[in-house]
Structure 1
Amino acid sequence: MPKVQVNGIDIFYEVKGTGEPVLLIAGFMCDRSYWSLLLPHLISHYQVIRFDNRGIGQSSAPNSPYSTQQMAKDAAAILDVLGIKQAHIIGHSMGGQIAQELALLYPKKVKSLVLLASLAKGNERFHQLVESWGDVATKIDLKLYEKLILPWIFTDNFYAIPEMVYQLIEWVTNYPFTPTADGIYHQSRAIINHDTTDRIKDINCPTLVMVGKQDILTPVIFSEQLAQNIPLAELQIIETGGHGFLIESTEAVTQAILKFLAKFQ
C-alpha cells in the first residue's frame, strides 16, 4: 500500500472501490481501520480513500506540534497525488475538525461534507479531558489507557456486553500499528487548539452533521452549533449510540451517510 510524502513526513493511504471519490478522515488515536465496518457499504458505490493521520498507524509520528490545519493539508496532498480534483469528505471527531479545515482551505476540493460527532470548538470540560488523555499517554500502558478512554466512547448498552469491551481492548492492544505516546500527545493538542467558530460560516458546500444522542464526549450541542452556523448544513441525531457510533450503530450511521451522498449522484 502506498505512502505520500508531504510536509516532511510520510502519510499512509489506501484506495478501494470505484465511482465518485470519498475521503475518510479518522479521529483521535484512530487510523484508517476505524472505518472498517462502514467500508464495505461505501466501496459498492464509491471510490473510497482511507489514510492514517500523522501520529498514528503507518504514517509518520513526528515529535513536534500538530494542528488540524496541518493535517488538512496532509489530506489535501493525498487527493492531489491521486489526481482527484473534488471529493466527498467524511470526518469523525478530530477527523471532522480536520474536514472543516479542509473545506475552508480548499473549498473547490470538497463536494460535500459529513461531520460525525465533531465540533467547532470544545468547552473547558472537553479540553481538560482531552488534555489529560495526552498527558497520561506516557504514564500508563495501552491496555489501561483504553480502559480509561472507552467509557467516554461507548454507551451503557455496549458495556452491558462485557465480552464486546474485552474483545475491543484486546484488538487494540494487539494491533500491529499501535499509537506512540508522542503521536497521542500531539493529536490531543491539535484537538484542543482547533477553533473554527468564527469561520464555519464560510463553509459553502452541502453538509451533513451527525451525532449519537448518547454521546457524552462531543455532546449533541456541539453538533447543533455546527449545523446552525454552516449555511448548507443539516443535522441528524442517531437515537442509539454514543461517540463510537460508527462501531456501535454502524447500520444507522451508514444508511444516513448513503442517503445524503445519493443526493449528488
Structure 2
Amino acid sequence: MPKVQLNGIDLFYEIKGTGEPLLLISGFLCDHSYWSVLMPYFTPHYQIIRLDNRGMGRSSAPDTPYSIQEMADDTAALLDYLGIDQVHIAGHSMGGQIAQELALIYPQKIKSLILLSSLAKGDERFNSIIEIWGELPQKIDMRLYQRVILPWIFSENFYSIADMIEQLIEWAVHYPFSPQIHSIYHHSRAILGCDTTNRLQNILCPTLVLSGKQDILTPVQFSEQLAAGILGAKLSVINGGGHGFIIESPKIVGRAMLDFLAQLH
C-alpha cells in the first residue's frame, strides 16, 4: 500500500478495481478504511481511489493547523501524481466538505460529486459538538471518547443490535492507526473553519446529496441546504441510518451512489 510525498507530507492511498476513477474521501476521525463495506459494490465497476487525509491513518500528522482547503489541495496533488485528469468524487461528512472545495477550486478535475452526511456550514449546536470533540481526547481515554461520540453517529436501530456498539468501540480502541490527539483537534478546527454557503452556486458538476433520515449530527436540513444551493443537485434521504449510514445501510447507500453514477453515462 503506497505512500507519496506531496505538499510536505507523506500521503497514504490505495487503488482497487477497474473502470472510471472514483475517489472516496473520509470524514472526521476516519481513514480510508471507513469505506470498506462499500468496496464490494464499487470495485466491479470503478477504479476506486481512497486516501488517508493528513492527520489520519497512515498519512503524516503534522502538529500544525489544518484546513479543509489544504486537504483539498492534498487530494488534487494526489490526482496529479496519479495522472488522473478527471474523477468522480464522493465525500462523507468532513470528506464532503473537502469534496466541495475540490469542486470549487479544481472544477476541471471533477466529473461528478456525491456528498454524504455533509454540510456547507454548521449551526451553533453542530459547532459546539465538534468543538468539544476536538478537545475531549486531551481529557479522556479513547474508550470513553467513543462512548461519547457514537450516539451521535448511529441510529437507535443500530444501537439495538446486540454487541454492535461494543464491537465498534473495541475496534477503535485497538486500531493500529488511530489518530493522534493533536490531529483530532486540528481536524475539528478545520471543520469549524469551513463555509461554502455563499459559493455553492459555483459548483457546476452533477451532484448527488445523500442524507440519513435519522442523522442527528448533520441533520437532513444540512443536506437540503446543499441541494438547494448547488444548481441541479439531486437530494436523496435514506430511511435506514443516521450519520454513519454507510456502516448501517451499505447496500442502500451503495445502490444510490451507483444509480446516480450510471445516469451520467
The CA distance in 1 between the partners of 2:98 and 2:86, in whole Å, is 16
Q: Distance in 1 between matches of 2:94 and 2:130?
A: 11
Give the TM-score normalised by structure 1: 0.99
Q: Distance in 2 between matches of 1:151 and 1:197?
A: 27
Match of residue 16 from structure 1: 16
Counterpart CA distance in 2 for 1:109 and 1:5 is 21
* Pair 1:261-2:261 in alignment: yes
Taking the aligned partners of 1:143 and 1:121, their CA distance within structure 2 comes to: 29
Offset at 1:232?
Answer: 2.3
Residues 72-87 of structure 1 aligned to structure 2 (within 5 Å): 72-87=72-87
Q: CA deviation at 1:172?
A: 1.1
Q: Does 1:106 align with 2:89?
A: no
Cα distance between partner residues in 1 of 2:112 and 2:263: 10
Take 1:9 and 1:78, find their aligned partners in 2: how far apart are those partners? 11
Q: Which residue does 2:119 correspond to in 1? A: 119
* Cα distance between partner residues in 1 of 2:251 and 2:242: 14
CA distance in structure 2 between the partners assigned to 1:88 and 1:4 by the alignment: 21
**Structure 2 residue 73 is matched with structure 1 residue 65:** no
What corresponds to 1:213 in structure 2? 213
SS at match of 1:47: strand
Secondary structure of the structure 2 residue equivalent to 1:122 = coil
4+ residue runs over 4 A deviation:
none
**Residue 162 of structure 1, CA deviation:** 3.6
| Aligned partner of residue 260 in structure 2, secondary structure | helix
Work out the CA distance in 1 between the residues paired with 2:59 and 2:139.
23
Say whether 1:168 aligns with 2:172.
no
Matches within 5 A, 1:111-150: 111-150=111-150
Match of residue 38 from structure 2? 38
Counterpart residue number, 2:96: 96
Inter-partner Cα distance in structure 1 for 2:126 and 2:208: 23
Please state how far the C-alpha of 1:192 moved relative to its aligned partner.
0.6
Match of 1:96, SS state, is helix
Deviations 1:48-102 (A, max 9, x none): 0001001110001111111100000011111111100000000000000000000
Secondary structure of the 1:161 match is coil
Any idea what SS the aligned residue of 1:235 has?
Answer: strand
Deviates more, 1:55-64 or 1:1-10: 1-10
Amino acid of the residue matched to residue 40 of structure 1? P
Where 2:198 maps in the other structure, the secondary structure is coil
Between the aligned partners of 2:173 and 2:46, the Cα distance in structure 1 is 31
Give 2:29's aligned residue.
29
Which residue type is aligned with residue 49 of structure 1? Answer: I
Q: 1:126 to 1:149 in 2, by over 3 A?
A: same
Q: 1:158-237, aligned counterparts within 5 Å?
A: 158-237=158-237
TM-score by length of 2: 0.99
Task: Provide, for residues 154-200 of structure 1, a one-character-per-residue CA deviation record: whole Å limited to 9, x for no partner.
Answer: 01111112400011111111111011001100000000111000001
SS for the counterpart of 1:228 is helix
Q: SS state of the match for residue 143, structure 2?
A: helix
Q: Which residue does 1:246 correspond to in 2?
A: 246
Q: Distance in 1 between matches of 2:162 and 2:65?
A: 37
Task: Please report how far the alpha carbon of residue 140 of structure 1 lies from its aligned counterpart in structure 2 after TM superposition.
Answer: 1.0
Helix, strand or coil for the counterpart of 2:4? Answer: strand
Deviations along 1:97-124, one digit per CA (max 9) or x if unpaired, are: 0000000000010000000000000001
Letter of the 2:243 partner, please give it.
H
Q: Within 1, Cα distance between the matches of 2:40 and 2:76? A: 24
**Which residue identity lines up with residue 151 of structure 1 in the other structure?**
P
- For residues 81 and 137 of structure 1, the distance between their equivalents in structure 2, rounded to whole angstroms, comes to 34
SS of the aligned residue for 1:198 comes to helix
